Amino acid sequence: MTDPEAAPAAASAPDSRNLMMRIAAAAVLIPLAVAIAYAGGWLWAALVTLAAIGLFVEWLAIVGLAGATRVIVPGVTALAVAGLCFAIGRLDAALIVLGIGFVAVVSIAPERRNWAAAGFLYAAAAEIASVLVRFDSVKGFAALMFVLLIVWVTDSGGYFAGRGIGGPKLWPRVSPKKTWAGAVGGFAASLAVAGGFAAFGLGKMGPLLMLSAVLSVVSQLGDLFESAVKRRFGVKDSSHIIPGHGGLMDRLDGFVAAVVVAALFGFLRGGADGVGRGLMVW
């Protein structure tokens, strides 16, 4: 084998190992997440709260505030107490606690105050939206699974379409590996989810197609947003907590963006206790 031939072969070995790690991690985490989402209640609130705390801590690490204990403590405390309020169904109390937490973070941050505030808002928005989408006892699980599946297939479809087709880069300065082929592939895969939900009578085809298209695009924008933040601070992965995926932000960036938009849309149509119905019933 010549040197030019050996280089791609050597490069493909780590890629193959990384793919296998991604698949193995997904095989464990996805069924666990679905089971907890199905259970709902305090279990889902607990998982969402832990994820929100992880997002906040990783954000601070990315922006250079990993050692800022006086920022971490009030932020984590507010997210944790809000999670307890969500678990017992006190949405109003949770929002008050998060508001106090935001003021505390902004007031105490010794430096990069705007970045610290943005990180808390990012984590708090993810916590609020994830709980609200599932909160609806009638359509909450279906709505949450719709959002999760849109994000998962957008990510997977984009990954395989990008690797298999290649072509022009989507935004090389921010995310050098993402291609337009991957973006289109992920978008197309999301429409298949809408078709599946409609086929099983879980919603009307037209509105679900529209919703899946919006959430797929938003999910990809969320991924690019996280990449831009990491690029701004010269960070490759938010952490290494998930084998093959990096950190929680690396895995949940698209979901955070999609679930926030989904929750906002569902809230406008169904109110705070009917976000799921607002998404799925037309």
What is the pLDDT confidence band of residue 7, given thresholds at 50, 70 and 90? very low
The larger pLDDT score, comparing residue 163 to residue 12, is at: 163
pLDDT category at 253 given cuts 50, 70, 90 is very high
Task: Say what the alpha-carbon torsion angle 100, 104, 107, 110 is, to the nearest 10 degrees.
Answer: -160
pLDDT for res 244: 55
Mind listing the pLDDT tens digit for each residue in 74-121?
A: 999 999 999 999 999 999 999 999 999 999 999 998 788 999 999 999
The reply to whether the predicted model has a pTM over 0.85 is yes
Is 130:259 a contact under the CB 8 Å cutoff?
yes
Query: Over the stretch 207-235, which tens digit does the pLDDT of each residue have?
Result: 999 999 999 999 999 999 999 999 899 88
pLDDT class of 15 with cuts at 50, 70, 90: low
Q: Measuring CA to CA, how many Å separate 203 from each of 6, 42, 197, 206? A: 51, 27, 6, 9
| Cα 164 from Cα 168, distance rounded (Å) | 13
Rg (CA), the chain: 19
